[in-house]
Amino acid sequence: MGEPCNIAWFHCFSGIAGDMALGSLIDAGAGIDEVRRICELLPVGGWALQAHPTQRNGVAATDVRVVASETSVVRTAGHINALIGEARLPDRVADRALGIFAALAQAEGKLHRRPVEQVHFHEVGGLDAIVDVVGTCAALEVLDVDEVYASAVAVGRGMIRSAHGLLPNPSPAVTELLVGCPTYGLDVGLELTTPTGAAILAALSGGWGAMPAMTISASGFGAGDNELEDRPNLTQVVLGVVAAQKPQGQPVMLFETNVDDISGESLAFAVSALLSAGAYDAWITPIVMKKGRPAYVVSALADFAVGDQVAATLASETGTLGVRGRLIERWPQARLEHEVDVNGCRIQIKVGAGRVKVEHDEAVRAAKLLGLPAREVVSLAEHAWHQRGGDGEPVA
């Protein structure tokens, strides 16, 4: 067992902003005086950090406000890095804050096609945003949080006003920051997730999905500015301890449908089509449905990037009336590909977790070339690997 690990999981069911992240951590127990003392190490004044109890849809929360004297200062990424570098912040606070602004700079640089050092921050370069970011990192330090995780992130719809004029919601910066992160839209015409909030998650989150297994120690809610009709406008943080650090899982989508009116040939082709559509794996499970009818569950495991394509393939190839999907995690074992020589024929093998595997298609190919049974080719390939001592460079 490893050392106990303190984790924070952000539940972004109404999105996330910098002040909401900081508010949730203060609500969960980070002392505002300690957070303020760390922020005061920044070599810039003219701001005040305030926190007030409030409610959203009847749920108690903390509303954080940064009152700043400046109104229209535009800073470069280099300027902000210098501010943080000069501040003599605790190492972990400085590293996390620099990582957040680096994520923002990379996103803005890509959107405006400028080198990172030439990026100018407007809203996120203001004192309030700087204090939100450094304050969030300070609160994580006060709470001694080792790792950060997050749920899928809710975003709004419509248009929003910015320093660049009207922009689509979610903003281009938010969309760029959340590349590779699970997100979903709500029918709310507000900026639920801001660039600052998205950057905090993009830079700090070590994993995405449902709340990790932990012993919960505290939780808190940070309030957003507006009231929402169907849900509290809050970001939740849950703090807890895990006995040992769990390897980071890979978030994937599991798609499934039940069918009872499809032939075996069509089922077999559906599995092949799902794999061709980009699924990591696809399989069929026999079940008994209502009224005792025999049926099948057709399942596919896929990355977010190809999720829509895999779901559409599952629907079209089975003729089902609906497909269900959910976010899960998987922990694939690391494996390497090598080549071995069997009677002059080069055969690819996969090695990992103490196992040697020859794929069936590879064994059949070699068997045809060598005029041997496929099972004998597999045995010879495994023997060749073990004779080599189980080492060698992986195939590129």
Residue 228: CB atoms within 10 A of its CB come to: 18
pLDDT reported for residue 394: 42
Q: Are strands 234-242 and 215-223 parallel, antiparallel or unpaired?
A: antiparallel
- Can you give the pLDDT at residue 349? 86
The pairing of beta strand 159-162 with beta strand 165-168: antiparallel
From CA 318, how far away is CA 328, in angstroms rounded? 23
228 φ, ψ (degrees, to nearest 5): -105, 150
Is residue 9 within a helix (H) or strand (E), and if so which, with residue range?
strand 5-11
| Cross-strand bridge partners of residue 223 | 234
Question: And the tokens for 183?
Answer: 């997100």
Task: Report the candidate in 31, 25, 14, 20 with the shortest Cα–Cα distance to residue 63.
Answer: 20
Using a 10 angstrom Cβ sphere, with 0-12 exposed, 13-18 middle and 19 or more buried, the burial of residue 199 is buried
DSSP string, 16-28: --HHHHHHHHHHT
What pLDDT, in 10s, does the model give residues 223-282? 999 999 889 999 999 999 987 655 678 899 999 999 999 999 999 999 999 999 999 999
Q: What domains, with CATH codes, occur in the chain?
A: 5-242 (no CATH), 250-330 (3.30.70.1380), 336-387 (no CATH)
Positive or negative: CA dihedral 33, 39, 41, 44: negative
Query: For residue 235, what pLDDT is reported?
Result: 98
Give the mean pLDDT per block of 10 residues along the chain (396 residues): 82 97 98 97 92 96 90 74 91 95 86 68 67 97 97 93 81 92 94 95 94 95 93 97 73 96 95 96 95 95 94 96 93 82 88 80 90 90 80 44
The DSSP code for 233 is -
Helix (H) or strand (E) holding 166, with range, is strand 165-168
Q: Which two tokens stand for residue 119?
A: 């990026």
pLDDT at residue 396, rounded to an integer: 37
Instruction: Give the position of tokens 């508010």.
Output: 23
